[in-house]
Amino acid sequence: MPGMNSGLTDTNPTLVAAFRAALLHQGLIILVVLAVLAIAWVSLREWIPAARNGPASRNAVTALAAAEPAGRRLLRIGFGVLWLFDGILQAQPAMPAGMSAQVIEPGAASSPGWVQHLINWAGTTWSFHPLQAAPAAVWIQLGIGAWLIAAPPGRGARLAGLVSVGWGLVVWVFGESFGGIFSPGLSFLFGAPGAVLFYCVAGLLIALPDRAWQTPRLGRTVVAGLGLFFIGMAVLQAWPGRGFWQGVSHGQRGLIADMVNSMAAVPQPHFLSSALSAFESFDVAHGFAVNLVVVIALAAIGAGLLSGDARLRWPTLGVAAVLCLATWLLVQDLGFFGGVGTDPNSMLPILLLIAGGYLALQRPLFAAAESAAAEPAAATAAASAAATEPAPATEPAPAADPAPTRPAILRPAALAARFGSVSMRAVLAIWAAAIVLVGVGPMVAAQASSTADPIIAQAIDGDAAPLNFAAPGFTLTDQNGHAVSLASLHGKVVLLTFLDPVCTSDCPLIAQEFRHADQLLGASSAGVELVAIVANPVYRGVAYTRAFDSQEGMSGLRNWLFLTGPLPQLQQAWKDYSITAQTLPGGGMIAHNDVAYVIDARGRTRTELNFDPGPGTTSSMSSFAVELADAAQNVMRPA
Amino acid sequence: MSARQRIIATVLIVATAALAAACGSTHPGAGLAPATGQVTTSLPIATSLAGPGQPGWAVVPMGGSSKGHDSFWELFVRATSSDQWKAATPPGVASNGGLAVAGVGSGLVAGFQPSQDLTFSPLASIASPAAAWSEGNALVNPGLASVPGALAAGPDHQLLALTRTGEVLLSTSDGTSWTHLTTLQSLQRTAAGRSCGLTALTAVAFGTGGVPLVGGSCARPGTAGIFAAEREAAAGVVPSLSAGSASPVTVLCLTTQANRTVAQIQLGAGYSTRVLAAWLPNGASQWTVSAADATGGGPPRSLDIWADGSAALVLAGGKADTISAMGSSWRSLPELPAGTATLALGPAGQLQALVPSGATLTVWQLAPSGVGWDRLQQLKVTIPDGSSG
């Protein structure tokens, strides 16, 4: 899939170092934001004593928190922890270079073409800008997790839920290729319909208004919905001909054994890989029995959830816990091992949703909630009595309701008072929201840019070498049969490289990078000449340079020259520019080094770039083109 | 949710799951066999040119996996009076895509079939086994078709090329300039092309009168698609070649040897594949066709037509058949050495089997008793692994 794999190793030192630096830099910004918020909050509370006992005072919030439905609290904190964990996983050094190749691309590979097209569009953002996208994903997920945990019940928590739905959908579509629902081999065991979709469901539940949690109806809906889900998964798992009933078929492992085998092969603690290998062997020998157990368990869980019978709650939960934990360990390999794991997969989120749904069936503590909502003054007074500092003597505690009029709220003084009156949890929630924004900003900027970062080229070939010496001259023949000398090009910046006209791989890529650089230069390209010299001692005739130009679409470039000449002249040019052109035996093409030189308008060599195109993906080619165009621009700038 | 609602919801969920299962069903290990009548235009291209009193040339794939561009097509040559082979691959271009060769007297013209980002075919020529390769400005653009008979050499430095876009080109200047002769689409519109159901072009050759010929693949049984390529209107000048009742009918290779145009033609596909040889002597009005030879499943691994008009096939399962002269019958050879890529002729007409394995070529010669094979030579070739990746 073009552009999806920069071809860099996951642990490319340049990218890893830059990734760490970006995280550190952004982390410092986040700490500064926290410091600013904390200082502002403390200062305002000192400045405006009344703020200490406002409607959002600590004790009022504590009362509200105690009244939060247990199910919602479980979901909020549980999925908050999961988002935090996922954010930490996103900070693995291999993420910038490995996310596309090891997560996004494999997920989309077996999907229909339109899915791949959609994934490619978004995946290009990551592969073009790995050092913006990778840290962004870290902060967005850490921010959502912290926000969910810290936000006091109310609008803040609900907003956190909505944000988690939004980001979850982005991850589900672009990171999980719609959870693989369009690919063959869909199975509960493998994480269908996508782990992050459960995050979205949880976020949606958290975002529901309070009144939705005031009756057991929500819990019944959630539990019934999960019941239907499990029934559906049971049917899917039981469907014949999909490869799940056989441990081995026609000499090949069945789907379950094959998945476990691939999981066992990834780097992980030995005891885990041993367990997986043992289970694989068991499944190979008893594939039918394993799948039968899974189908029965799924159906039983579904039936138990769907029945609504309170007596079946604990057995259902127990069976679900056993099935989910066993699957999580023996099939999903805890979800995050193996190079670029991004989340613990689907079993933990499912268990949380089941537990949350069952908790939601319980009648919430509405008396406490109503008491806390209706009498914030009483709570405030009680808190004031217990406080070390005396309550203000002259100003009564403001009632929780009604809120000030909207225009008044927007006045700076009112805003300041309101901010000073919020709880510490609310400050942390605001900070968490700021963390999310620290991630969203660069991600949006990355999406808006159509060219790749030059760091990809630098990671492949190293930095450009600044030089300043007179460029060796040459006089050769261009593709139209005209004599061209370097001296005749004075007055223009020359981008010089050496290409084999019958090359099968690197040289066509380099030609495209030169062409793209010319486009990036825009109007400035009028002052630039793109020059290639033949680097093949055997196939060096003008017919070959013209055929190459036609093949690569270079014929239409007015400022393109592909030069050749008698072998001694070519050999002199190679020597002058440190080019080696070695004839390989046995049907090999000419081996030559890939270099690009930037020669200024006065004929002085100013920059040397290693120009081995690497994998030749869309992102690496764009990056090289940007690097070349930037080098040309630098030379064109007045000193 | 009421019980009725739960039942309805359950049924809907089960139906959805069933649909998902049915749409996403896979059968691990199942491959798709080509539909009947479908013809691939990519044919095996291990081949050899040889004959008594002539040097021998052989093209053989060697090295590693073609997937990683580590498989290289190597050219080997045997001097006229020697039974020893040596590597002679033309330098300067990667040969991952294949080599199409055409004999010119004691020498050869070789064309590199395109691979990866190279879309045209550089040419190289050599006057004799002892001479050096010369390249000049010779190339075929667009590149040569991926078939062994994509290049033919005629008298007076004429070359005939079949491109991967289905064009037939003629050069009178050793490949430095080309004239368009015909295309697949043009031949499909002719009466003969319509009659046979022409679907692809697969080989070119100069006929006994120096007439450019082109062979193709026909979807309808009964007639092999061999046409004159000089002018579209002249299609059908060549006598029709009846080719049994199986389809498709594919001309695997076409050449002129010993004053005869010789063709190897594949009938059918899959397990019922058979091959027949056909000869059209100079001035003859009809082809002499051999009996059909069963290949044992699928197309032959290698095709050889030699200077004396004899032909050979390397088949699956270590089998090989030869036919010695016009009108004779196919003769099975003793089981071939494992991994035989192609057969060739020695200086005295002895059958040789060329067996590549990684970077080593082993040459086996049929024992005088005709029962087994004697190892004749082992040759190490420097394979430029990783150079094309």
Q: Does residue B157 contact residue B150 with C-beta atoms inside 8 Å?
A: no
Q: Which of residues 55-84 of B touch A (CB under 8 A)?
A: 62-63, 69, 72-74
Answer whether residue B5 shows pLDDT above 90. no
H/E run at residue A499 = strand A493-499
Answer whether residue B27 shows pLDDT above 60. no
Q: Which of B1, B70, B101 to mutate to test the interface with A (most CBs of A within 10 A)?
A: B1
- Choice between A196 and B48, residue whose per-residue pLDDT is larger: A196
Q: Which of residues 100-159 of B touch A (CB under 8 A)?
A: 112, 115-120, 122, 135-139, 141
DSSP A578: T
For residue A509, list chain B residues with Cβ-Cβ distance below 8 A: 117
CA distance A225 to chain B (A): 9
CA atoms within 13 A on the CB side of B101: 33
Instruction: Report the alpha-carbon distance of residue B160 to residue B98 in Å, rounded.
Output: 17
CA distance B243 to chain A (A): 38
Q: Does residue A189 contact residue A259 with C-beta atoms inside 8 Å?
A: yes
Q: Does residue B84 contact residue B98 with C-beta atoms inside 8 Å?
A: no
DSSP assignment of A368-382, as one string?
HHHHHHH-HHHHHHH
CA distance B5 to chain A (A): 10
Kindly report the backbone phi and psi dihedral angles of residue B67, in degrees, each rounded to the nearest multiple of 5, phi listed first. -65, -40
DSSP A488: G
Q: Which of residues 222-251 of B touch A (CB under 8 A)?
A: none
Could you give the strand order of the β-sheet that contains B151-153, starting from the edge strand earlier in sequence?
Answer: B151-153, B159-162, B167-171, B179-183
Tens digits of residue pLDDT in B219-257? 988 888 898 887 544 444 577 777 777 888 999 888 887
Maximum Cα interatomic distance, chain B, rounded to a whole number of Å: 95
Count other C-beta atoms under 10 Å from residue A487's C-beta. 11
For residue B388, list chain A residues with Cβ-Cβ distance below 8 A: 504-505, 588-589
| Interacting residues of B350 by C-beta distance below 8 A, sequence separation 6+ | B83, B365, B366
Instruction: Report the alpha-carbon distance of residue A619 to residue A125 in Å, rounded.
Output: 9
Which tokens hold the place of A345? 């997969």
C-alpha angle with apex A422: A421 to A425, nearest 5 degrees?
Answer: 150
Answer whether residue B370 shows pLDDT above 90. no
Which tokens hold the place of A112? 């229909």
* B14, B73, B139: residue with CB nearest A235: B14
Burial of residue A551 (CB within 10 Å: 0-12, 13-18, 19+) is: buried
**DSSP alpha helix (H) spans, A10-69:** 13-47, 58-67
pLDDT band at B26 (very low <50, low <70, confident <90, very high): very low
Instruction: Report the alpha-carbon distance of residue B48 to residue B54 in Å, rounded.
Output: 12
% of chain B beyond a pLDDT of 70: 87
Instruction: Report the alpha-carbon distance of residue A579 to residue A474 in Å, rounded.
Output: 14
Q: Stretch B155-178: mean pLDDT, rounded?
A: 90
- A162-176 burial, b at 16+ Cβ within 10 Å, e below that, comes to ebbbebbeebbbbbb
Answer whether residue B38 shows pLDDT above 80. no
pLDDT at A574: 97
| Interacting residues of A51 by C-beta distance below 8 A, sequence separation 6+ | A44, A45, A417, A418, A420, A421
The distance of Cα B293 from the centroid of its chain, to the nearest Å, equals: 17
pLDDT at A398: 46
**Nearest Cα residue to A581 out of A546, A538, A610, A612:** A538
pTM for the predicted model, two decimal places = 0.82
For residue A222, list chain B residues with Cβ-Cβ distance below 8 A: none
For residue A232, list chain B residues with Cβ-Cβ distance below 8 A: 13-14, 16-17
- A366-403 burial, b at 16+ Cβ within 10 Å, e below that, comes to eeebeebbebbbebbbebbeeeeeebeeeeebbebeee
Provide the phi-psi class of A576: left if phi over 0, else alpha when psi is between -120 and 50, else beta.
alpha
Q: Which of A262-266, A374-378, B70-74, B335-339 has the lowest mean pLDDT?
A: A374-378
Q: Which of residues 577-606 of A touch B (CB under 8 A)?
A: 583-591
pLDDT at A482: 95
- Choice between B28 and A433, residue whose per-residue pLDDT is larger: A433
Q: What is the CA radius of gyration of chain B?
A: 23
Maximum Cα interatomic distance, chain A, rounded to a whole number of Å: 100
CA distance A305 to chain B (A): 11
pLDDT at B32: 32
Q: Which of A382-396, B28-42, B49-63, B361-375 has the lowest mean pLDDT?
A: B28-42
pLDDT at A406: 54
Which H, E and C letters describe chain B, residue by residue? CCHHHHHHHHHHHHHHHHHHHHHCCCCCCCCCCCCCCCCCCCCCCEEEECCCCCCEEEEEEEECCCCCCCEEEEEEEECCCCCCEEECCCCECCCCCCEEEEEECCEEEEEECCCCCCCCEEEEEECCCCCCCECCCCEECCCECCCCECEEECCCCCEEEEECCCEEEEECCCCCCCEEEEEHHHHHCCHHHHHHCEEEEEEEEECCCCCEEEEEEECCCCEECEEECCCHHHCCCCCCEECCCCCCEEEEEEEEECCEEEEEEEECCHHHCEEEEEEEECCCCCCEECCCEECCCCCCCEEEECCCCCEEEECHHHCEEEECCCCCCCEECCCCCCCCCEEEECCCCCEEEEEEECCEEEEEEECCCCCCEEEEEEEECCCCCCCCC
Tens digits of residue pLDDT in B82-130? 889 999 999 999 999 889 999 888 889 999 999 999 999 999 999 999 9
**Nearest Cα residue to A204 out of A124, A287, A148:** A148
* Torsion sign, CA atoms A326, A327, A330, A334: negative
Which tokens hold the place of B82? 């020697």
- B196-213 burial, b at 16+ Cβ within 10 Å, e below that, comes to bbbbbbbbbbbbbeebbb
Q: Which of residues 526-545 of A touch B (CB under 8 A)?
A: 536-539, 541-544
* Pairing between β-strand B167-171 and β-strand B139-140 as defined by DSSP bridges: unpaired
Which tokens hold the place of A70? 């247990």
Average pLDDT, chain B: 83
Q: Does residue A206 contact residue A274 with C-beta atoms inside 8 Å?
A: no
Burial of residue A467 (CB within 10 Å: 0-12, 13-18, 19+) is: middle
Q: Hey, are the CB atoms on B14 and A232 less than 8 Å from each other?
A: yes
Q: Stretch B258-262: mean pLDDT, rounded?
A: 82
DSSP A172: I
- Choice between A565 and B191, residue whose per-residue pLDDT is larger: A565
- A244-266 burial, b at 16+ Cβ within 10 Å, e below that, comes to bbbbebeeebbbbbbbbbebbee
Which tokens hold the place of B284? 């003859």
Q: Does residue B147 contact residue B42 with C-beta atoms inside 8 Å?
A: yes
Q: Hey, are the CB atoms on A239 and B17 less than 8 Å from each other?
A: yes
DSSP A527: G
Instruction: Report the alpha-carbon distance of residue B335 to residue B373 in Å, rounded.
Output: 9
Walking along chain A (639 residues) 10 residues at a time, the average pLDDT comes out as 55 92 94 92 80 57 69 94 94 88 77 85 87 94 95 90 96 89 88 94 94 89 94 94 87 89 87 91 93 95 90 92 94 77 90 93 56 47 46 47 54 79 88 94 90 92 90 96 96 97 95 96 95 97 96 95 97 96 91 94 94 88 94 86
Which tokens hold the place of A184? 């063959």
Which tokens hold the place of A263? 């999981």
**Nearest Cα residue to A73 out of A136, A15, A157:** A157
